[in-house]
């Protein structure tokens, strides 16, 4: 359960980038990032208390895994994170292009 650490880091990045006027924080959380959306939302509720961003809302976009399929020659979705095969042709794929993301994507700041 490291979502509390992650939530505190989100608040830190958001405040550095957007100041106290941040109303909404948009984050991208990859399927392979090791962070669980529901746990992060709960942790965030606790983390924001007493901080300048205590009213800021957290919006999480879950990022599915994308691999570079050698056979289809391009980015493809996978069957699941338990089965890293191209969803189209079933070829095992070792190069992950997306899905490890743990990123503050954008902020909505009051003007």
Partner 1 sequence: MNSTPRIVEVRKNILKHNDEVAHALRERFQQAGVFVVSLVSSPGSGKTAFLESTLTRLRPHFRVAALVGDLATGNDAKRLARSQVPVRQILTGTLCHLEAAMIENSLTDWALAELDFLFIENVGNLVCPASYDLGENLRAVLLSVTEGEDKPLKYPPMIHSADVAVITKTDLADVVEFDWEAAFQNLQAVRPGMEVMRVSAKTGAGMEDWLKFVTGGRHPARCASIE
Under the rule (CB under 8 A), what is the footprint of partner 1? 1-2, 5-6, 9-10, 12-14, 17-18, 23-24, 27, 32-35, 81-85, 92-94, 96, 100, 102-111
Instruction: Give the C-alpha separation, 9 to 17, whole Å.
Output: 12
> In the complex with partner 1, which residue's Cβ is closer, 36 or 49?
36
The least CB distance from residue 31 to partner 1, in Å, is: 8
The least CB distance from residue 69 to partner 1, in Å, is: 11
The least CB distance from residue 92 to partner 1, in Å, is: 4
Phi and psi at residue 44, in whole multiples of 5°?
-65, -40
Contacts with 67 (C-beta within 8 Å, 6 or more apart), sequence order: 75, 76, 78, 84, 86, 93, 94, 95, 96, 97
């Amino acid at each position: 359960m490291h979502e509390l650490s992650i939530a505190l880091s989100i608040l830190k990045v958001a405040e550095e980038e957007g100041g106290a006027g941040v109303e909404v924080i948009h984050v991208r959380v990859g399927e392979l990032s090791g962070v669980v959306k529901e746990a992060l939302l709960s942790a965030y509720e606790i983390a924001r208390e007493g901080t300048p961003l205590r009213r800021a809302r957290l919006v999480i976009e879950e990022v599915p895994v994308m691999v570079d399929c050698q056979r289809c020659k391009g980015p493809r979705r996978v069957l699941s994170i338990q089965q890293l095969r191209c969803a189209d042709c079933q070829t095992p794929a070792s190069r992950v292009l997306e899905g490890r993301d743990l990123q503050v994507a954008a902020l909505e700041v009051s003007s």
